[in-house]
Chains A and B, each alone.
Chain A
Amino acid sequence: MPASEAQPVMALLEIAGVSKRFGVTAVDDVSLSIEKGEFFALLGPSGCGKTTLLRMIAGLEIPDRGRVLIDGVDVTALPPYSRPVNMMFQSYALFPHMDVAGNIAFGLRQEKMDRRRVAARVGEMLALVQMSDYGGRRPHELSGGQRQRVALARALAKMPKLLLLDEPLAALDRKLRAETRLELIGIQERVGTTFLLVTHDQEEALGMASRIAVMNRGRVVQIGAPAEIYERPGSRFVADFVGEVNLFEGELTAGFNCLALTIAGFDRPIPLSPPAGITLPEGAAAALALRPERLRLCRERPPGFALAATVASVSYLGGASIVHLVAGGGRPMKVRLPAGADCPPRGAAVWASWSPDEGVLITQ
């Protein structure tokens, strides 16, 4: 975890050493802080503890250890109804016996807000999610996408300091998901509320969040901006979980004028450009992560370092093609070629190349 981040004076959300067990450890000593106005994503596979962490922020679970602070106030022991956060549930949890307007007004009515102001706020929220004509409908009369909007409007109606979104797009179909992603970003910019999103979908996290915390087995394994997470994964888990990757396991050796990685089955060590400030002993186990779109393919041997490989198969994806290669030692590799690129046929002998700074050395 990068310790370089300077501690802000007062973060909007501060999670300090939070742990929770349900028989097994669900969340293990997690600390992170979120600034006002951020669109923050908790990304991880199912069962990594991200939803439990979200529920502890909402007050639906009480941590075994650690503290949760919202706007500097310790809310660790506060019940959900006393916290300045609202949550959009994965199942939406719309009240089936109330119409859309009633659902959105529910939270406002708990504050004993007067009726005219409730009606005005409900109207505002309906307009925000483009559902103004649907105030009188019951949830079962709506499509999945419409329910999702109502759930969002309901959670935003009380103007929470922090909006928690539990897999908000999981129940939508693929096309709707892409549209809704853009809408969510737009709504977040308009209302200025801090969003904390939980998702297992790396595309969702990369595409929406301003910052991402990747979780695995109850722990936060990396925090950073989307590009940082994708381009500079700090561990094998992050490299593998976020996006497609070619991972080469090997041993560090001193190469010609630089550090290199010796990989069993390859005829020569792969030159590396090691990250600054990292010193590793020779012979240490390490991995090289290469994104498929960073690789180039040539029929002729290019100058500089290149790996000889054979094309095993080609998957055409429309906008791109994935070329599956077999390199030395029977090692599989993936290369992503943009549409229009010269695609070698099956069985062709090719050379895969990249510049040393495009590969990421991973030691964890």
Chain B
Amino acid sequence: MIGIGRWGRLVLIGLPFAWLGLFFLFPLLIVLKISLARGAIGIPPYTPLLFDDGSGLKIQATLANFALLASDDLYLRAYLGALGNAALATALCLALGYPIAYAIARSPGEWRLLLLFLVMLPFWTSFLIRVYAWIAILKPNGLLNQLLIAVGLITTPLPLLNNAFSVELGLVYSYLPFMILPLYGNLSALDESLLEAAADLGARPIRGFLGVTLPLSLPGIAAGSLLVLTPAVGEFVIPDLLGGADTLMIGKVLWDEFFSNRDWPVASAVAVVLVAALAIPILLAQKFLAQERAA
């Protein structure tokens, strides 16, 4: 940091903080404020936090919305359902994404860019359109069932859509690139002479992988898992479009509270608890990554 000066340094560090404050913390505080209000008929559809009843400014806040979340086990089941689905999707993305990232990182230089491009290619099409495409593939008379019937593997269509399977498939399909990219970044930076040293010291390829590659790729695994887990927990489009009546995920509950029930305070409380629940694994991973970096 030579030549920037004290003010320059402040601006440099302050900029990301200002960004986060303006676009993350400030909206979050608004949501927090709404979560402490009561529902009301009007615009906006909740009671104000501060009001003047003629005898001075008063604060009006309630924890009733949070109490509601605790009293109705629908919310708890929705949180756990979302977490379970997202955790399974993260594990599947890791199982699929690790070999893909490894193969790309080990492929010849001129292939790597093309392969990475292919990984990112789906982003060029709208997320919604891609989810709708899965409906066309999975529905009872959809492409996959037609194909399976045509080749004679099945005689009646399989129930592929609107169940736990289709939700999981949609999550894994949508978030796989977020696992592959950080893992690729990590694995491509691995010093190949370490693997040569392991082989030279008598380690067969599988032991070299388990003893050297895997432990050194833990930061990549942690980063990829977070990038998949975090958005997958709050996901509502996939459970809404690919899920069935029994699919319970908190993102969808939140959506329904906001847009079907127009109960902004309860929806906000759901969001606040969700953010808090997600912050814990993120902070844990952050601590782990910091330790890795220090080591």
Which A residues are within 8 Å of any B CB, using their own CB? 58-60, 79-81, 85-87, 89, 91, 93-97, 106-107, 110-111, 138, 140, 154-155, 158
B215 touches A81 (CB 8 A): no
B248 to chain A, nearest CB (A): 41
The reply on B202 being an interface residue by CB < 8 A is yes
Chain A residues whose CB sits within 8 angstroms of the CB of B198 once the complex forms: 95, 106
| The 9 nearest A-B residue pairs measured at CB | A107-B201, A110-B202, A93-B197, A93-B193, A80-B199, A87-B200, A81-B202, A97-B215, A80-B200
Binds A, one of B74-82, B203-211, B228-236: B203-211
CA distance A94 to B199 in the complex (A): 13
B191 touches A91 (CB 8 A): yes
CA distance A155 to B295 in the complex (A): 24
CA distance A3 to B194 in the complex (A): 40
* Residue from the set B197, B198, B202, B207 with the largest chain A CB neighbour count within 10 Å: B197
**Known contacts A93-B191, A97-B215; is-contact A110 B207 (Cβ 8 Å):** yes
CA distance A305 to B192 in the complex (A): 59
- Identity of the chain B residue whose Cβ is nearest the Cβ of A151 in the assembled complex: B197
Chain B residues whose CB sits within 8 angstroms of the CB of A85 once the complex forms: 200
Which B residues are within 8 Å of any A CB, using their own CB? 191, 193-194, 196-204, 207, 211-212, 215-216, 295
A107 touches B193 (CB 8 A): no
CA distance A60 to B203 in the complex (A): 13
B196 touches A138 (CB 8 A): no
B186 to chain A, nearest CB (A): 13
Chain A residues whose CB sits within 8 angstroms of the CB of B196 once the complex forms: 60, 80, 89, 93
B202 touches A107 (CB 8 A): yes
Chain B residues whose CB sits within 8 angstroms of the CB of A158 once the complex forms: 201-202
Chain A residues whose CB sits within 8 angstroms of the CB of B295 once the complex forms: 97, 138, 140
Chain B residues whose CB sits within 8 angstroms of the CB of A155 once the complex forms: 200
B191 touches A97 (CB 8 A): no
Chain A residues whose CB sits within 8 angstroms of the CB of B207 once the complex forms: 110
CA distance A154 to B198 in the complex (A): 11
A106 to chain B, nearest CB (A): 5
A81 touches B216 (CB 8 A): no
CA distance A24 to B163 in the complex (A): 59
- Identity of the chain A residue whose Cβ is nearest the Cβ of B192 in the assembled complex: A93
Chain A residues whose CB sits within 8 angstroms of the CB of B211 once the complex forms: 95, 106
A91 touches B201 (CB 8 A): no
B196 to chain A, nearest CB (A): 5
A89 touches B197 (CB 8 A): yes
B221 to chain A, nearest CB (A): 13
- Identity of the chain A residue whose Cβ is nearest the Cβ of B295 in the assembled complex: A138
Other than A60-B200, A140-B295, A158-B201, give 13 A-B pairs with Cβ distance below 8 A: A60-B196, A60-B199, A86-B200, A87-B200, A93-B194, A93-B197, A97-B212, A106-B198, A106-B203, A106-B211, A110-B203, A110-B207, A155-B200
Chain A residues whose CB sits within 8 angstroms of the CB of B201 once the complex forms: 81, 86, 106-107, 110, 154, 158
Chain A residues whose CB sits within 8 angstroms of the CB of B212 once the complex forms: 95, 97
User: Which of B199, B204, B216 interacts with A96 by CB under 8 Å?
Assistant: B216
